Structure 1
Amino acid sequence: MPYVTTKDGVEIYYKDWGKGRPVVFSHGWPLCSDSWEAQMFHLAANGFRAIGHDRRGHGRSSQPWDGNDMDHYADDLAAVIDKLDLKGAVLFGFSTGGGEVTRYVGRHGTSRLAGIGLISAVPPLMLKTAANPGGLPIEVFDGIRAGSLKDRSQLYKDLASGPFFGFNRPGATASQGMIDAFWLQGMLGGHKNTYDSIAAFSATDFTEDLKKFDIPTLLIHGDDDQIVPIDAAARASKKLVPHAELKVYPGAPHGITDTHKDQLGADLLEFVKGLG
């Protein structure tokens, strides 16, 4: 299987489908690149090279004890991009992956990139602070940490059957397949890695990274996202990246890569095609 080895010896798994302009997909927590498979399939089938990697500690990648933070995630992404010598690439990041992509720009710039897409993404900052009153209180993330330590298998089932896909909303029809896929991907991840990643996605401030976005940028977010509320996320990012295009999916939950996969696939394809 294809792997890239990082400077600190971590093996990062990646899949590489199709030919054409490279489009790199960064996944959310506690998932792996399989969570992007519908969009990767769609873009690869329409003339693009779709590349998805499993973040360190997730999926089929190594499970190191250390380095489960945004700086390492961004550098791991850079290792994949450099190893494959990608040029004119488009980066799409979902949820935590949106933080990874944003920190990549902050640390490595945009010289290899043609466009950026942040999908249901965590930037600029999820955690509520004095400077970020619209964020979520620390107790929310402490609760996720406690659930992870107590019974992370059940935590993943509860997230997937509830707020992640919006299945807890009145009249919603739950998909057992989506729930099972979320749980399976989550349980492939390392316990320490997924635990540490809670702090990485919630408490990392991406404000200065976003200010370095100097290429076409697409923001997509559901306005019923119960995991990463849109006002503190995409709408706040839009203010920091004025040239970005913001697309709001009315009534959509967090997990739009599955619940709105056709609409999202069409929007991502349109964006990449528009880059010329």
Structure 2
Amino acid sequence: MGYYITVERNVKIFVEDTDPGHGKPILFIHGWPLNHKMFEYQFDQLPKMGYRCIGVDLRGFGKSDRPWKGYSYNRLADDIRIVIDTLRLEDITLAGHSMGGAIAIRYLARHAGHKVSKLALIGAAGFTRYPEYSYGLAKEEVKRWERSWNKLIEATYTDRPKMLDGVGDIFFARYVTGSFKEWFHGLGIEASGHATAKCAVSLRDEDLGSDMSKIHVPTGIFHGKQDRVCPFVFAELMHARIRGSKLIPFKYSGHGLFYEELEKFSRELVRFIG
């Protein structure tokens, strides 16, 4: 079922909940510039295994309201806190993809892991400007990351459909059908153009380095080896900085590992959650 939750005055966000009050809760936070429907295939299967799947459309995306402000990681993490408290969730697995993973990291740090028992980072945008580049994130790679987001921000304001086509071209490392690409492209089109651009600014500018040391729950890092959106080095950096984390590589996947290796992803996620 779907419903709206007020997160601040005149701002409501949409929540999809497969089975309110039943099963182990997994709260999914989608990636940029999509919405909760990107997890359609997990929502089809995981409830059969006893899991309650809860999907949030971040403000500005999907069916949620589209305010002019509020696209920092802090504000987006605060929205997640309100959802959790409103639904009275306990013992949650917080699962975030790409930017959703970054927001999940900020949530754990900012809200001291409130009600979260496990953290699943899926192709997470674990960007850090820490000076120790021992895991391959050299200064030039940081600059390259920033330049790529500058181009995406500019393209969002000038030709957003074409920009989304470009993102789709590098999202998957394995073949997906034309029909699937069209559906996937439509998820991005549903978003507010302004929210798409402002969240791209957050992706470019926000630093998660200090947040990772504040995570004290079991953390699974699910990441495609061929990811061209969030390079695999991000997974290695997160693994190094999040104490006790487990790195689960997906050899044949790019940024869309949740679909490219669908069966393995579901199997590994269930194994991690337990």
TM-score norm. by structure 2 comes to: 0.92
Asked whether the 8 Å contact 1:128–1:137 carries over to 2, the reply is: no
Partner of 1:234: 235
Structure 1's 129 and 181: CA in aligned 2 closer, same or farther, altered over 3 A? farther
Q: Percent identity?
A: 26
3-state secondary structure, aligned to 1:38: helix
Corresponding position: 1:219 with 2:227: no
| Shift in Å, 1:224 | 0.8
User: Which residue does 1:145 correspond to in 2?
Assistant: 153
SS in 2 for 1:118: strand
Match of 2:195 in 1: 193
Distance across 1 between alignment mates of 2:77 and 2:272? 23
Q: Note the residue ranges of structure 2 that are not aligned, 5 or more in a row.
A: none
Which residue matches 1:105? 108
- 1:178 deviation in Å? 2.6
> What's the CA shift string for 1:199-227, capped at 9, x where partnerless?
11222111121111111110011111000
Contact 1:69 1:200 in 2 (8 A): yes
Q: Secondary structure in 2 aligned to 1:189?
A: coil
**Of the candidates 35, 49, 53, which is equivalent to residue 50 of structure 1?**
53
Structure 2 SS opposite 1:224: coil
Task: Report SS of the residue matched to 2:103.
Answer: helix
Number of aligned positions between the proteins:
265
Query: Which amino acid letter does the alignment assign opposite residue 215 of structure 1?
Result: V
Check conservation: 1:128, 1:138, Cα contact below 8 A. no
1:116 partner SS: strand
Q: Which residue is 2:269 aligned to?
A: 268
How far the C-alpha of 1:61 sits from its partner, in A, is 0.1
Indicate the residue corresponding to 2:171 in structure 1.
Answer: 164
Q: Structure 1's 15 and 211: CA in aligned 2 closer, same or farther, altered over 3 A?
A: same
CA contact (8 A) 2:32 2:196 kept: yes
* Conservation of the 8 A alpha-carbon contact between 2:225 and 2:249: yes
Cα distance change on mapping 1:192 and 1:94 into 2, 3 Å? same
Q: Look up the SS of the partner of 2:214 in the other structure.
A: coil
Structure 1 residue 84 corresponds to structure 2 residue 73: no
SS at match of 1:55: coil
d(CA) in 2 for partners of 1:130 and 1:116?
25
- TM-fit CA distance, 1:128: 9.7
> Counterpart of 1:103 in structure 2: which amino acid?
R
C-alpha distance in structure 2 between counterparts of 1:130 and 1:10, whole Å = 40
Task: Specify whether residues 129 and 8 from structure 1 end up closer, same or farther in structure 2 by C-alpha distance, changes over 3 A only.
Answer: farther
Contact 2:77/2:106, CA 8 A, preserved across alignment? yes
Unaligned runs of 5+ in 1: 167-171
Give the TM-score, by structure 1 length.
Answer: 0.91
Query: Counterpart of 1:26?
Result: 29
Q: Which runs of 4+ in 1 moved over 2 A?
A: 127-138
